[in-house]
Amino acid sequence: MKILVTYWSQTGNTRKVAEAIFSSLGGEKTIKPFDEVENPGGFDLVFIGFPVMQFGPPAPARKFIAAHAPGRKIALFITHAMLMQNEDQQQQDLLEKELEKCRAVCSKSELVGLFHCQGELSEKIANELMASNIPMLMEFAGMRPLTIGHPDQGELERAQTFARNIAAPFAAP
Ligand SMILES: Cc1cc2nc3c(=O)[nH]c(=O)nc-3n(C[C@H](O)[C@H](O)[C@H](O)COP(=O)(O)O)c2cc1C
């Protein structure tokens, strides 16, 4: 079994999850950011990670998946600013919609699993959004305090359990 863990990460959160997943896997494995992957053809399973941006998968993820994932067994790992469980049903629905858009771009692949967790909204980005004077973006920036410190140790361990479970059927008998 050959496994590739690949990711795109602007502020480091998704990279942390990628590294946790990578360290939990046995066997023949490789970790690389999207832009260093030339051809994932020789891999039996590809873990693909990215952050949610503007309520869906960011352009680098769409591009990577369209170019390299069709016909392949893939598992997604995603970070986002939304709370995992939100009593506000609208917010909970918004997260579900974001994840659905991420699944949708994988329609030509065999999606064998999806992991997601919160990732800290960086101070720089939150300040930029606050300065935009656009109410929706300012409201989004106000979520930052709820995101600080994520992904935390528990989430990284959950990502590792996810990855081991996904990889188990691919392991040689
Ligand atoms: C420009 C920008 C747009 C974002 N848009 C969303 C969004 O629509 N929904 C969401 O849940 N999180 C959003 N986030 C938060 C990121 O998904 C989150 O902080 C993520 O963990 C960043 O991952 P990274 O450090 O790997 O880049 C956005 C962050 C940035 C910088």
CATH superfamily of 2-121+149-170: Flavodoxin domain (3.40.50.360)
CA 119 to ligand 1: nearest atom? 21
Question: 10 Å Cβ neighbour count for 92?
Answer: 15
pLDDT at 23 (0 to 100)? 98
pLDDT averages per 10-residue partition of the chain, 173 residues: 96 98 96 94 95 96 97 97 90 95 98 98 95 90 95 98 94 63
> Ligand 1: which residue has its CA nearest to atom 14?
53
Give the up-direction half-sphere exposure of residue 54: CA atoms within 13 A in the CB hemisphere.
Answer: 5
Ligand 1 pocket, 149 CB below 6 A? no
14 class by beta-carbon count within 10 Å (0-12 exposed, 13-18 middle, 19+ buried): buried
pLDDT at 135 (0 to 100)? 92
Q: Which of 102, 103, 95 is nearest to 147 (CA)?
A: 95
Q: What 8-state DSSP symbol labels residue 142? A: T
Q: Report CA(94)–ligand 1 centroid distance (Å).
A: 14
For residues 49 and 17, give the distance between their C-alpha atoms in angstroms, rounded to a whole number. 8
Sheet of 110-118: strand order equals 28-33, 2-7, 45-51, 73-80, 110-118
Alpha helices in the chain (DSSP H): 13-24, 59-68, 89-104, 123-130, 135-141, 144-147, 153-167
pLDDT at 104 (0 to 100)? 98
Structure-token match 């591009």, residue found: 63
The residue extents of the domains of the chain are 2-121+149-170
For residues 121 and 129, give the distance between their C-alpha atoms in angstroms, rounded to a whole number. 11
Ligand 1 pocket, 136 CB below 6 A? no
44 class by beta-carbon count within 10 Å (0-12 exposed, 13-18 middle, 19+ buried): middle
pLDDT at 2 (0 to 100)? 94
Q: Which of 12, 10, 2, 89 is nearest to 40 (CA)?
A: 2
Ligand 1 pocket, 54 CB below 6 A? yes
pLDDT at 172 (0 to 100)? 60
pLDDT at 44 (0 to 100)? 94
CA 56 to ligand 1: nearest atom? 8
